[in-house]
């Protein structure tokens, strides 16, 4: 019996495995992944703990989209070499890709136990935490990655994005500036940098970045589109228009460049050119809801109600309006409503709903029983509207014959300019509340003589409105009005600024009513006791107009479509007078025009004498 161990030619066996590895790696480099995997598996049949074969097989399976198999081979490799940080890191990347962030985080921490000065591992861990919305922790690890590798573009961009998201605009601007200095070839980064600089109040640097981008991307219409959009976002309308036009010279059929030009021109008050670009954008993208809706509002601004209201239906296609439908109830499209139960659905802002509450009266006069589904703050006042039966602030469960959004009504009403104001007044306060506020106002603001005026004032709308920065103004800018003799002022401002007027009470005859106002019925009762309201474009202006009460409204150059173009009156509200900004941002001259008009009304004898 021969108990001897047979001899093996070990150098030849190793050479054979090395040859198999060389063939497998050659297949891998040539992207013949199936052949590479086959060769790696042959090696592992002979040497199951061959680390390089296990590792490369895992990578090949990963590249081939077989993530579960890749994970198995990386796990086997880690059993052979548990001290290899790169294997733990790659295992973490696989876990993240397969939707297991908790495991991925654990793998990255294991990797850092063996390589705590690896910028990429810190960055990968940060990416994992960011995907799990753990942004503060993610920022900590991006910062560590950046500490090790100060030029890490990925870490800088990530820190910039998270800072911007969290409202840390100074930090965001700083990180974007560093990222831009490293790689100025990314147009999207340049656009983000411009927005960050704008929000951080570092406008002095925007011009330099714009000049660099316009030169660098002089032949890139797509990049110029991103740049013009960013400039619109930071109120650089003239620059945005110049960049959009530069892009359109390269690509006249780029609808988004026309769209960006449209926005810039509206901010500048050049409505004729705005209409040209809006029409072209809509022509180039006939199925795009944004382009078509913008054209609708442009046409309405010019008084083209017939075509404008037809196109307004595109608003329904925008994502934010998809849930307001009423399942199981037919959408009204102009059918007879006599004897029908009708649900009129509010939309957009409070001002829009107040403006189009007039449709309830129009429906009621045609025989409909009209319920209104509206935003909560308007519930009490909507119940006072002509033609309204019941008011809901959530989707009602009752059955209806028809429903329609408020701003879709005009199309099917065939609303023309000559039909306006449709119903007036269509809001009226309750006698009890009116008497209650009359008593209060008489007590705090007794008139010294019958000609003395009681005037209400509102200087700011909701800060969440997308264009609030254009319509709201500083209370200090209104001081020239408060100096007009024979006027007792009453602040009806609500929200965060409602007590701001108290600081002027000693200097001017200015009463602060905002804290005492509980809802719009209070506001309306106060307005019914005053002689005039002076306000910016906000819901209180619509309230006064809907009640047929005197209201003077200050509107910016880029005023909303409903105020039309160049008019000083409003066909929607006969009691309203418009004071338009002629130069973007110049409220001083508007206030002076209002002051002169108020002086003529409050002190006619003085004006005539002078």
What's the rounded Cα separation, in Å, for the pair 521 and 327? 32
Assess contact for 456 and 527: CB atoms under 8 A: yes
Which of 424, 457, 454, 461 has its CA nearest to residue 437? Answer: 454
The pLDDT assigned to 3 comes to 41
Planar angle of CA 570, 363, 386, nearest 5 degrees: 65
Classify residue 178 as exposed, middle or buried by CB count within 10 Å of its CB (0-12, 13-18, 19+): buried
The pLDDT assigned to 13 comes to 57
Element (H, E) at 536: strand 532-536
Superfamily of domain 431-609: Glycogen Phosphorylase B; (3.40.50.2000)
The pLDDT assigned to 609 comes to 44
DSSP 3-state of 159: helix
The pLDDT assigned to 324 comes to 63
What's the rounded Cα separation, in Å, for the pair 197 and 180? 12
The pLDDT assigned to 325 comes to 74
Q: Give the total residue count for the chain.
A: 610
The pLDDT assigned to 65 comes to 93
Residue 603, phi then psi, degrees to nearest 5 = -130, 60
- Give per-residue pLDDT as tens, 73-97: 999 999 999 999 999 999 999 999 9
Strand order in the sheet with 369-373: 388-392, 369-373, 341-345, 402-405
pTM (2 d.p.): 0.85
Question: Which residues of the chain have a pLDDT value below 70?
Answer: 1-15, 319-324, 604-610
Q: What share of the chain is helix, strand, coil (3-state, %, to 5)?
A: 60, 10, 30
Write the CB contacts of 16 (distance below 8 Å, at least 6 apart in sequence). none
The pLDDT assigned to 59 comes to 94
The pLDDT assigned to 16 comes to 86
Exposure string over 499-528, b if 16+ CB within 10 A, otherwise e: ebbeebeeebbbbbbbeebeebbbbbbbbb
What's the rounded Cα separation, in Å, for the pair 96 and 550? 63
Nearest-10 crossing angle of helices 153-165, 119-131: 30
Which of 587, 351, 598, 594 has its CA nearest to residue 474? Answer: 587
What's the rounded Cα separation, in Å, for the pair 103 and 128? 10
Element (H, E) at 138: helix 135-148
Q: What is the CATH number of domain 218-324?
A: 1.25.40.10
What's the rounded Cα separation, in Å, for the pair 60 and 33? 6
- Give per-residue pLDDT as tens, 37-68: 999 999 999 999 999 999 999 999 999 999 99
The pLDDT assigned to 576 comes to 98
């Amino acid at each position: 019996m021969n108990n001897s161990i047979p001899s093996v030619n070990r150098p030849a066996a190793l050479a054979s495995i090395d040859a198999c590895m060389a063939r497998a790696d050659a297949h891998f480099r040539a992207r013949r992944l199936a052949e590479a995997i086959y060769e790696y598996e042959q090696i592992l049949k002979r040497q199951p703990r061959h680390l390089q074969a296990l590792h490369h097989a895992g990578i090949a399976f990963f590249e081939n989209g077989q993530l579960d198999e890749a994970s198995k081979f990386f796990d086997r490799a880690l059993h052979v070499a548990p001290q290899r940080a790169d294997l733990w890191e790659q295992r973490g990347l696989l876990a993240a890709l397969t939707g297991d962030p908790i495991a991925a985080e654990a793998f990255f921490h294991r990797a850092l136990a063996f390589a705590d000065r690896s910028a990429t591992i810190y960055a990968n861990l940060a990416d994992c935490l960011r995907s799990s919305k753990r942004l503060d922790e993610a920022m900590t690890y991006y910062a560590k990655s950046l500490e090790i590798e100060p030029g890490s573009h990925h870490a800088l961009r990530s820190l910039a994005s998270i800072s911007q998201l969290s409202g840390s605009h100074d930090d965001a601007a700083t990180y974007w500036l560093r990222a831009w200095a490293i790689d100025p070839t990314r147009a999207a980064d340049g656009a983000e940098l411009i927005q960050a600089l704008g929000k951080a109040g570092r406008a002095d640097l925007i011009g330099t970045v714009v000049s660099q981008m316009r030169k660098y991307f002089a032949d890139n219409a797509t990049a110029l589109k991103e740049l013009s959009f960013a400039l619109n976002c930071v109120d650089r309308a003239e620059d945005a228009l110049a960049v959009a036009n530069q892009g359109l010279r390269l690509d006249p059929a780029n609808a988004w460049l026309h769209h960006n030009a449209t926005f810039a021109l509206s901010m500048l008050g050049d409505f004729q050119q705005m209409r040209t670009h809006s029409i072209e954008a809509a022509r180039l993208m006939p199925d795009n809801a944004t382009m078509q809706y913008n054209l609708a509002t442009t046409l309405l601004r010019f008084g083209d109600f017939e075509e404008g209201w037809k196109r307004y239906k595109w608003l329904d296609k925008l994502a934010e309006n998809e849930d307001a439908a009423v399942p199981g109830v037919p959408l009204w499209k102009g059918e007879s409503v006599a004897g029908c139960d009708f649900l009129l659905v509010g939309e957009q802002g409070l001002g829009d709903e107040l403006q189009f509450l007039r449709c309830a009266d129009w429906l009621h006069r045609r025989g409909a029983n009209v319920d209104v589904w509206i935003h909560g703050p308007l519930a009490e006042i909507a119940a006072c509207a002509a033609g309204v039966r019941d008011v809901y602030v959530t989707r009602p469960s009752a059955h209806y014959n028809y429903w329609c959004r408020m701003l879709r009504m005009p199309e099917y009403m065939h609303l023309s300019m000559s039909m306006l104001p449709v119903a007036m007044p269509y809001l009226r306060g309750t006698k009890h509340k009116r008497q209650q506020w009359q008593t209060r106002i008489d007590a705090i603001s007794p008139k010294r003589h019958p000609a003395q005026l009681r005037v209400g004032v509102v200087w700011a709308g909701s800060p969440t409105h997308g264009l609030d920065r254009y319509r709201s103004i500083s209370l200090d800018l209104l001081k020239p009005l408060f100096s007009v003799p024979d006027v007792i002022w009453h602040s009806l401002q609500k929200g965060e600024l409602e007590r701001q007027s108290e600081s002027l009470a000693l200097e001017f005859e200015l009463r602060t009513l905002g804290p005492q106002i509980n809802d719009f019925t209070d506001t309306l009762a106060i307005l019914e006791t005053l002689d005039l309201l002076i306000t910016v474009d906000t819901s209180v202006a619509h309230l006064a107009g809907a009640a047929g009460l005197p209201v003077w409204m200050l509107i910016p150059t880029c005023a909303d479509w409903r105020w039309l173009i160049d008019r000083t009156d409003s066909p929607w509200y006969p009691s309203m007078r418009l004071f338009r900004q002629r130069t973007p941002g110049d409220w001083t001259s508007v206030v002076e025009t209002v002051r002169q008009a108020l002086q003529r009304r409050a002190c006619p004898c003085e004006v005539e004498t002078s």
